Amino acid sequence: MNDTPHTGRWEERWHPLREEWVIVAAHRQARPWIGQTIDQAPAQIPSYLPDCYLARQPSV
């Protein structure tokens, strides 16, 4: 975790859609990304599965 102490900083920013000043907790903008990202290669999908009931040939 971040070892820096909480300084309680905040700032006002102009919100153009609301057309008013809003208070933003600026210290929260510096949080590091904790989530993990994984690069995965796309799975090889066969063009035909003989055991799939949807791919069966109609019986004539």
Residues 30-54 have pLDDT tens digits of 667 777 777 787 788 777 777 888 8
User: Which amino acid is it at 21?
Assistant: W
Domain-wise residue ranges, the chain: 1-32
Contact present, 40 and 55 (Cβ < 8 Å): no
User: Is 11 a residue whose pLDDT tops 90?
Assistant: no
Cβ neighbours for 6, distance < 8 A, ≥ 6 positions apart: 27
User: Is 3 a residue whose pLDDT tops 90?
Assistant: no
Residues 20-33 have pLDDT tens digits of 999 888 776 666 77
